[in-house]
Homo-oligomer: A and B are copies of this chain.
Amino acid sequence: MDELLDAGPRTLAFLGPEGTFTHQAACQVVQAIGEAGGPHMELRPCRDATAIMRAVEEDGSWGVLAWENNVEGYVVPNLDMMIDAADAAAFLRVGVEVSFDAYVSADAYARYGGSERTAANDARVLAACTTITAHPHGLAQCRGFAQRHGLHAVAADSNGAACRDVQGPQVALGPSICGPLYGLVRLASHVEDYPGARTEFLAIASRADVRAWCARFRQAGVPEYESILTVIPLVTGPGVLANLLDVMRDAGLNMTSFISRPIKGHDGTYSFIATLDAAPWEPRFHDALDEIAGHGDWLRTLATYPRRERPHPPVDEWMLPQGGVRCKEDDEETIRKELLW
């Protein structure tokens, strides 16, 4: 018996409409699940993250949630939802490059360019277009392209909706999935002002399914894992965080991300969310969790997934921000300016 396959095809709930970066992430999750020998997946667009969580907790669906963006930081509402979920955890993590392509409808191309796809016709279509549409975030990330082509910005509810509804002398911005999805003509690729933006997504399931996934990964010999842990200390005050991290350090656990967050948004309360290079069943992590719980702290593993390939750049001088101090090297006036003491 295979717990993951016996239930038959599964739905994968994602934030709709179709044609968003989340949709693109969902396609990557389907592929990763397939490569890991998981069940056949059917994609299901949902209206908001609450609906995705409901599908996971009530209908046995799996889901995709945006987790972290390298420019914007954590998607905090989704983080809060995972902390407070009755029965959900994550078992995969995928990254999507936030890169925009510029589209027009096939009708608009035929009308303003011609029946044949040529560079000259592309230029004529772009010259004929007067407006550009996307989610306001997308418009903000592609200002240079809009300015170069004299396009006036028109806000849309989502990049997917912008691409779905584009018509006439209008350019829509969206992820690469939108071209085939809506039968659009791609006039240009990677039109964002600054390349390198990336959003990370978690694939979530009921905790029983996540345990089944963990068992499968271990059977398949996946050697390394990452986990996301939430701890709520029930006693607060100076040093509570230092005491918690001493346990992690003494266990030799490498943390790759750490944030504090008010519990359910309650000002003045604290939960801590740590991402570690370890799986909860590894003895050193297991013992650290046991010790933390022994203090009476509340804790929960939000995610355990195969470790991603990650860069490990050394921190070079050129990476440091402007200004700042390293006291042994700076004069007193610089120190006073930078530290405000």
Contact = CB atoms under 8 A, between A and B. Distances in A.
Given A86-B322, A249-B242, A338 B207 contact: yes
A84 B323 CA distance: 8
Contacts of A297: 326
B254 A237 contact: yes
B280 A339 contact: yes
B84 A321 contact: yes
Contacts of A158: 136
A326 B296 contact: yes
A341 B269 CA distance: 27
A269 B313 CA distance: 7
7 contacts: A71-B77, A85-B323, A136-B158, A245-B245, A258-B258, A298-B320, A299-B326
A218 to B, nearest CB: 12
Contact of A263 (B76, B156, B256, B321): B321
A65 interface: no
Size bin of chain A's contact surface = 35 or more
9 shortest interchain CB distances as A-B pairs: A293-B327, A73-B76, A239-B249, A242-B249, A280-B341, A242-B245, A300-B324, A259-B259, A155-B155
B340 A280 contact: yes
A331 interface: no
Interface in A157-198: 157-158, 196
A311 B268 contact: yes
B337 A211 contact: yes
B73 A74 contact: yes
A262 interface: yes
Say what secondary structure dominates the interface of chain A. Answer: mixed
Given A70-B267, A321-B263, A253 B238 contact: yes
Given A72-B77, A300-B339, 4 more contacts: A139-B157, A207-B338, A236-B315, A280-B339
A119 interface: no
A157 B157 contact: no
A147 interface: no
A296 B38 CA distance: 49
Nearest to A312: B268
A254 B256 CA distance: 23
A92 to B, nearest CB: 14
Nearest to A213: B340
Contact of A319 (B241, B245, B269, B321): B269
A148 interface: no
A222 to B, nearest CB: 14
